[in-house]
């Protein structure tokens, strides 16, 4: 082989190596940005050790009156006798008015979000509390005070008088995917700082029995039980990506967590005593199907969303939407499920305008709808219709 041929061969090989190596290097750089976390026998223990001090046990005390509506009342024949109930003397002739009050103790979980004593938990954990006792991982106990509670999202903030606490690192729930590993820490059934491990089973779950479907939940198979409510759901970097909230009672390992992106915004507003502005449309919706389409006398397309109910004085009513409208598009995007409308509303702010295209009396109609502020109460403008339990608007 001549020197010239050898030189040409070497140059060709070098150019080929560049073509192959450069893309490989780029692919490696792309993988590096994902910050993959190795999972070994120590990974979960390390997360529990580092985040555990930021997780607290919350004991809630409620005082309730003894229920005696069906209790027989007898006149005592001798004045020497006393009636005792729950260890306290009572007048047998006046049980309904002078019944002793008893304490009901419930437990939940919470996560410290600021080192000066602010704790994030669920609203249902502290609802109705007359006294709150917070126990940290070092077994110190504090009296807790509810700074603010938001029943719409089922989130609350509790304050204890302490400083230099270990606060959890809050991550993001924006790009989490089904199949990712997660860790839950909390106090199920009073067993504080219990650690469980699993995966994200699904994202964007709408559960109408929890918060009226106001929040799209993270579903996880990490074991969650009563008492875990308010505790953190963590990724393998030890960042909080959700607040554990509910379980499916008739199943195993089907739990739901509020995404941390929702919790961060709400908790900040609660701590700063800000008004939480929520976009609202004010309709109840149903998924189109064969039966509904035939009853309405419209083409059997099974597309669009049927408006079953319009709330009185709601943005929907003020803007001109009516019961019986079939929503086909919003801002030019096809609408196929009630969730599409919920997502469109939630993606905008109060006073933003959405452009609806609806079918009314078999005729297309364009309606500009100005999003309003979610009210405390709302009433139907028309006779109530039975909503589709799988897809009501729930206050959008």
Residue 124: active-site member: yes
Residues 199/146, Cβ–Cβ less than 8 Å:
no
Q: Running DSSP on this structure, what letter comes out for residue 272?
A: T
Name the phi and psi angles at 343, rounded to 5.
-65, -40
* Strand 239-247 to 169-170 pairing: parallel
76 band by pLDDT with thresholds 50, 70 and 90: very low
Among candidate residues 314, 310, 348, 351, the one with its CA nearest the CA of residue 331: 348
pLDDT reported for residue 94:
57
Residue reference for tokens 């009516």 = 322
Place of tokens 């919920």: 342
Band of pLDDT at residue 153, cut at 50, 70 and 90: confident
- Across 45-59, 272-286, 333-347, 378-392, the highest mean pLDDT is recorded for 45-59
Q: 31: number of CA atoms within 13 Å, CB side?
A: 8
Which member of 124, 153, 173, 388 is catalytic? Answer: 124
Mean of the pLDDT values across residues 13-42?
52
Highest mean pLDDT among 3-17, 33-47, 203-217, 366-380: 33-47
pLDDT at 383 over 50: no
Domains recognised in the chain with CATH numbers? 52-159 (2.40.10.10), 169-271 (2.40.10.10), 279-373 (2.30.42.10)
**Distance of CA 199 to CAs 44, 253, 262, 325, 388, Å?**
13, 10, 20, 41, 30
Measure Cα distances from 362 to 14, 293, 325, 355 in Å.
Answer: 69, 11, 9, 19
Say how far apart CA 108 and CA 225 lie, in whole Å.
10
pLDDT of residue 209 exceeding 80: no
In the chain, helix, strand, coil percent, each to 5? 20, 35, 45
Q: Write down the mean pLDDT value for the chain.
A: 78
Q: How confident is the model at residue 103 (pLDDT cuts 50, 70, 90)?
A: low
Rounded Cα distance, 119 and 106, in Å = 17
Annotated catalytic residue: which of 123, 150, 153, 154? 154
Q: Is the pLDDT of residue 64 over 90?
A: no
Q: Please report the DSSP string for 8-54 in residue order.
A: HHHHHHHHHHHHHHHHHHHHHHHHHHT-PPP--TTHHHHHHHHHGGG
Higher pLDDT, 147 or 289: 147
Q: How confident is the model at residue 233 (pLDDT cuts 50, 70, 90)?
A: very high
- b/e sequence 23-51, b meaning 16+ C-beta within 10 Å: eeeeeeeeeeeeeeeeeeeebbeebbeeb
Band of pLDDT at residue 320, cut at 50, 70 and 90: very high
Concatenate the DSSP letters of all residues of 78-105 into one string.
-TT--EEETTEEE-TT-TTTSPPEEEEE
pLDDT for the residue numbered 37 = 78
8 is annotated as an active-site residue: no
Say which residue, 229 or 79, is predicted with more confidence. Answer: 229
Catalytic residue from among 109, 137, 187, 229:
229
Contact 283, 317 (CB under 8 A): no
Percentage of the chain lying above the pLDDT 90 cut: 41
31 has catalytic annotation: no
Looking at residue 81, its pLDDT comes to: 47
Q: Which of 296-305, 310-319, 371-380 has the lowest mean pLDDT?
A: 371-380
**In the chain, % of residues over pLDDT 70:** 73
* More confident position, 174 or 98: 174
């Amino acid at each position: 082989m001549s020197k010239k041929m050898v030189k040409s061969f070497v140059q060709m090989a070098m150019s080929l190596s560049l073509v192959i190596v450069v893309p490989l290097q780029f692919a490696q750089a792309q993988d590096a940005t994902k910050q993959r976390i190795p999972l070994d026998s120590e990974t979960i223990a390390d997360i529990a050790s580092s985040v555990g001090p930021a997780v607290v046990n919350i004991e809630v005390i409620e005082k309730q009156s003894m229920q005696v509506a069906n209790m027989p009342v007898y006149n005592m024949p001798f004045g020497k006798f006393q009636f005792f109930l729950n260890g306290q003397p009572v007048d047998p002739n006046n049980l309904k008015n002078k019944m002793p009050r008893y304490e009901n103790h419930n437990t939940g979980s919470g996560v410290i979000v600021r080192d000066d004593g602010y704790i994030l938990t669920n609203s249902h954990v502290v609802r109705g509390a007359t006294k709150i006792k917070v126990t940290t991982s070092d077994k110190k106990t504090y009296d807790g005070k509810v700074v603010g509670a938001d029943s719409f999202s089922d989130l609350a903030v509790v304050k204890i008088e302490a400083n230099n606490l270990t606060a959890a690192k809050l991550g993001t729930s924006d790009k989490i995917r089904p199949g990712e590993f997660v860790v839950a820490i909390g106090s199920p059934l009073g067993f504080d700082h219990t650690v469980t491990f699993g995966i994200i089973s699904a994202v964007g779950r709408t559960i109408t029995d929890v918060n009226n479907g106001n929040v799209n939940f993270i579903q996880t198979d990490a074991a969650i039980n009563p008492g875990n409510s308010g505790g953190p759901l963590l990724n393998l970097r030890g960042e909080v990506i959700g607040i554990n909230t509910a379980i499916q009672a008739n199943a195993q390992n089907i739990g739901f967590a509020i995404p941390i992106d929702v919790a961060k915004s709400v908790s900040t507003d609660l701590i700063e005593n800000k008004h939480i502005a929520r976009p609202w449309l004010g309709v109840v919706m149903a998924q189109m199907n064969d039966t509904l389409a035939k009853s309405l006398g419209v083409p059997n397309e099974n597309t669009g969303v049927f408006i079953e109910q319009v709330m009185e004085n709601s943005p929907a009513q003020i803007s001109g939407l009516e019961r019986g409208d079939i929503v086909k598009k919003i801002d030019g995007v096809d609408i196929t499920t009630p969730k599409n409308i919920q997502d469109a509303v939630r993606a905008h702010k109060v006073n933003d305008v959405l452009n609806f295209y609806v079918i009314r009396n078999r005729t297309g109609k364009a309606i500009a709808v100005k999003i309003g502020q979610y009210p405390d109460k709302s009433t139907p403008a028309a006779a109530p219709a039975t909503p589709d339990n799988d897809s009501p608007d729930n206050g959008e």
